[in-house]
Amino acid sequence: MKYILIIILLSAPFLLNAELLTQHYPPSVLNRTGETGIILTLLGPRDNLEEVILSYREIGQYTYREIERKREDITSQEVTFLLPRLAPPAAGYEYFFIIRSSETQTTLPVNQPQLNPFRVSIPLTDTAADLFILLNPVTEIESDQDLVFAVSLYNLEKIIDPASVSLFLNGKDITGSAIYTPPLLVYTLSSPRAGIHNFQVRAQTKDGQPLQSPVWRYSVAAKATFLDELPIDIGGQAIFNSNLRNELESNDEEETMRARTRNDASLRLNLHGRKDWFAFRTRLYLSSYESSSKQAVNRFTLGFTVPHFEMDIFDSTPDYGSFLLSNNNVRGASLKAHYGVLTLQSAYGETSRALEGKTLTDSTFTAGTFQRHTFAGRLEIGTHDFLSFGLGFAKNKDRTASLAEQYYRFPAADEDESPGSLLVTPKDNVVLGSNVRLALDNQRFVLGAEIATSLYNSNTLDGVISKEELEEYLEESVPFDPESFESIIIINKNVEPIIPNMASVAYRLYVNWFIAGNFLNLSYSEVGASFRSLSSGYLQNDARILTVSDNVSLLNNQLLLDAGLNLIRDNLSEQKNTTTTNTNWYLQTMVRPRDLPYLRLGYNQNSYSDDLKENEIDQQMGAFNIGAGYNFVQIPFATTTLDIGMTLADDKDNTEMKAFDQKRTGFQINLYNAMREIPLTSRIGISSTSQKDIGDISNSYFSFSFRNEYAFLQETVRPYLNLRFNTLGGDQDDQQISNYELGTIYQPFLRTTVNTSFEIMSYQNKEIDDLDYSVFTWRLNIAQRF
């Protein structure tokens, strides 16, 4: 029981603080000589995180491109994306993040990210622009034309060393493919690939001084597709993903290897379009995990927008605030009408579908799930640009008839006896809520508050109670007839609270303030013990939460300071014997002077404790991180980035039980290398962790990873090799996990990408051979953008 309590209490802060916080500092400038790392920091639980997407485009371009990081790729709180190398005349990149969890999708920046994205520009340097003569100034190339790039070095002929002349296409040396008959340098690209092609000429004077031309950018048009011919603007993407796995594991009884297959596939199709005042959007997600015995995984959305009105049918995730409706998929319809400062929203549909339980014997079954319907509405007055006030409700009700009785009630022992006990109960819930939001200085200062109260019936099987029965139950008279409220909520002895009080109230206050490179977030919330909202995911009642974080950027983004505190305390109503407190605070800094090595330091401490004299829970976990890195631009043939780090962690259970007392020391080295003369990139990662626990138990972990990628055929084909070796040793069984992956990324057209790979993963336990297994996986990912 104690352990269950510990687990519940440990998980409480995560449930309570389900919101994933994101932090990002744009780099001061783009790296002219290679890719530029963009780091997004995720703070908080990542349990429901599905993927993080970096959406980016060149400044001045219309279309955003995307880089995805799937959940399995996100192994730490920092998610790193690499923006491709970009050189003048391009000005830089604009980008924003999409953070997609199983239930919600948020962006960073939060408000209108496409219109207000982060920006990072290219540093300017001097070029010998006037001395190089570009002979073909027509930079817009049709899809059926050859690209003739020609530069005359007529003005440089007397001072230049002819042997030093070299031509670069998209950063790669293509001098060998060009024709140089001094003073003319010509390179012809037959059937060029659609997209941007950057050319630059580099040379040396006869006395050894380097010279470089501006970077000339040619844009080759993509071949028109049938979508381009339509009289409507259409965009979107289709992504097919499949994993075919064949697992081989030891069979103890027959001393043979047993094979089994485990496959999955998904298809995501997003399509949106616009014609004058009409816009539409469709989303389709089909997964092989969809099953009638589980909650819906597939998603279908069809939506449209006309002036003053929006509608989504089938699946949508409307957000009416933290307490009314959020983080829930509604399968039905969602409407929004707005005129001037008035906005009216409404949603109706299924938030949970009926699932039958399993049949154990002829007369016994496991619990099923009732179908739940949600109906919500919200009226807002004002605008998000300044002041808005909202008032709304949410009604959630389980349909008793959606589930056969055998799946929610044990059968009676015989016909004369009363019905058996309940496996699961249908619920009824009404939430009323209001919010106010003030935004000043172009959203740089946002002050808001939300408040809500609820009525919750934990079992509606008995139906509505009569007024007389209720008065008898309460032993006092009540000023209403429960039967007259049956259409709103079924009132009986299971309603909480029957008489509204502060325990059924939840509220939240928050401030976001961005001023002079300082981004301050402050949030305080209390959720009463009786407050329930079945339409708001991840809401834990009977708790108060204080969250403070501050990000400071100084010296033109060269010095970053980040600090935060998250404090969660339960037992708001003091009805429990103990109150537990979870405190998490962190402090981190990063110094990254331009063109010099960067340094980062951080400390994070998490503590859980109760208020008992002799603590049943008292745990403290702390981790100190230090790291440094440098982008070696001095290496002439390769862009190289080296990052090293060390972690010291101390996790301790201070109760009498002393369940653990871990001390960990970890080292990490990451090396990224991109050859300049050939399109070869490689990454090497090494990490080592040693851990000591109570009872003189010591374990060690070692990991080595290597990735190599080579691009050819105008970068349309990029084969890659991934190797990863993990070894576990010490007092635990000696184990080794090896991954070998060979794949290729093929981009036959600008908007089409095919990524396929074969991977062999083998697990070896050197102490117990029977535990060995291996998995062969064939992955196929096809992405098509429209």
Partner 1 sequence: MKQSIFIIAILILFASISFAEESPVALTLRMKGDITLLRSELESRLNEGNPLINQDVLSSLDDSFAFIKFIDDGATLRLFANSILTINTEREEEKMNKSSFLRKGNIFTSVDGRKGNFEVETPTTVASVRGTEGFIDVQDDGSTLIIALSGSFAVENIISGNRALVAAGNSCSSGSDGQVEVFPTEDIDEEWLEAIADMPDSGNNILRIELLDQENEKRTIEIELE
Interface residue list for partner 1 (CB under 8 A): 133, 135-138, 146, 148, 150, 152, 154-155, 179, 181-184, 186, 188
Q: What is the DSSP string of 581-620?
A: EEEEEEEEEEE--TTS-EEEEEEEEEEEEE--SS-S-EEE
Q: Which is nearer to partner 1, 182 or 419 (CB)?
A: 182
Q: Which is nearer to partner 1, 145 or 583 (CB)?
A: 145
Q: Which is nearer to partner 1, 128 or 344 (CB)?
A: 128
Minimum CB–partner distance for residue 322 and partner 1 (Å): 56
Residue keyed to tokens 């509220």:
507
Q: Which is nearer to partner 1, 53 or 165 (CB)?
A: 165
Tokens for 571, please give them. Answer: 């037992």
Cβ 50 vs Cβ 102: under 8 Å: yes
Minimum CB–partner distance for residue 198 and partner 1 (Å): 19
Task: Compute the distance between CA of residue 781 and CA of residue 710 in angstroms, rounded to an integer.
Answer: 19
At position 307, the amino acid (one-letter code) is P
Q: Which residues contact 781 (CB under 8 A, 6 or more apart)?
A: 239, 240, 241, 242, 753, 754, 755, 756
Task: Compute the distance between CA of residue 122 and CA of residue 29 in angstroms, rounded to an integer.
Answer: 6
Closest by Cα among 633, 707, 715, 706 to 679: 715
Minimum CB–partner distance for residue 219 and partner 1 (Å): 14
Longest dimension (CA), the chain: 112
Strand, helix or coil for residue 155: helix
Minimum CB–partner distance for residue 88 and partner 1 (Å): 19
Cβ 256 vs Cβ 215: under 8 Å: no
Tokens for 332, please give them. Answer: 């039905």
Task: Compute the distance between CA of residue 319 and CA of residue 534 in angstroms, rounded to an integer.
Answer: 14
Minimum CB–partner distance for residue 36 and partner 1 (Å): 33
Q: Which is nearer to partner 1, 122 or 178 (CB)?
A: 178
Residue keyed to tokens 């919600």:
104
Minimum CB–partner distance for residue 139 and partner 1 (Å): 10
Q: Which is nearer to partner 1, 155 or 716 (CB)?
A: 155
**Degrees (nearest 5) of the Cα angle 372, 380, 376?**
10
Q: Which is nearer to partner 1, 174 or 186 (CB)?
A: 186
Minimum CB–partner distance for residue 147 and partner 1 (Å): 10
Minimum CB–partner distance for residue 206 and partner 1 (Å): 18
Q: Which residues contact 406 (CB under 8 A, 6 or more apart)?
A: 357, 365
Residue keyed to tokens 């100084």:
554
In this structure, are strands 697-710 and 680-693 parallel, antiparallel, or unpaired? antiparallel
Minimum CB–partner distance for residue 185 and partner 1 (Å): 10
Distance separating the N- and C-terminal Cα atoms of the chain: 56
Minimum CB–partner distance for residue 97 and partner 1 (Å): 40
Question: Quick one: CA torsion of 691, 692, 697, 700, rounded to 10 degrees?
Answer: 20
Q: How many C-beta atoms lie closer than 10 Å to residue 146's C-beta?
A: 12
Minimum CB–partner distance for residue 141 and partner 1 (Å): 11
Q: What is the DSSP string of 667-736?
A: EEEEEEEEESSSSEEEEEEEEEEEEEEGGGEEEEEEEEEEEEEE-BTTTTEEEEEEEEEEEEEETSPPEE
Q: Which is nearer to partner 1, 181 or 418 (CB)?
A: 181
Q: Which is nearer to partner 1, 129 or 488 (CB)?
A: 129
Residue keyed to tokens 């939060």:
110
Q: Which is nearer to partner 1, 187 or 407 (CB)?
A: 187
Task: Compute the distance between CA of residue 54 and CA of residue 97 in angstroms, rounded to an integer.
Answer: 5
Minimum CB–partner distance for residue 193 and partner 1 (Å): 18
Q: Which is nearer to partner 1, 49 or 147 (CB)?
A: 147
Q: Which long-range contacts (CB under 8 A, 24 or more apart) does 711-717 make?
A: 711/679, 711/680, 712/679, 714/192, 714/193, 715/170, 715/193, 715/679, 715/747, 716/193, 716/746, 716/747, 716/748, 717/744, 717/745, 717/746, 717/747
Strand, helix or coil for residue 521: strand
Q: Which is nearer to partner 1, 133 or 239 (CB)?
A: 133
Closest by Cα among 635, 712, 707, 641 to 172: 712
Q: Which is nearer to partner 1, 154 or 300 (CB)?
A: 154
Task: Compute the distance between CA of residue 289 and CA of residue 399 in angstroms, rounded to an integer.
Answer: 25
Minimum CB–partner distance for residue 678 and partner 1 (Å): 25
Minimum CB–partner distance for residue 144 and partner 1 (Å): 13
Minimum CB–partner distance for residue 204 and partner 1 (Å): 20
Q: Which is nearer to partner 1, 135 or 515 (CB)?
A: 135
Q: Which is nearer to partner 1, 157 or 733 (CB)?
A: 157
Minimum CB–partner distance for residue 127 and partner 1 (Å): 17
Q: Which is nearer to partner 1, 179 or 554 (CB)?
A: 179
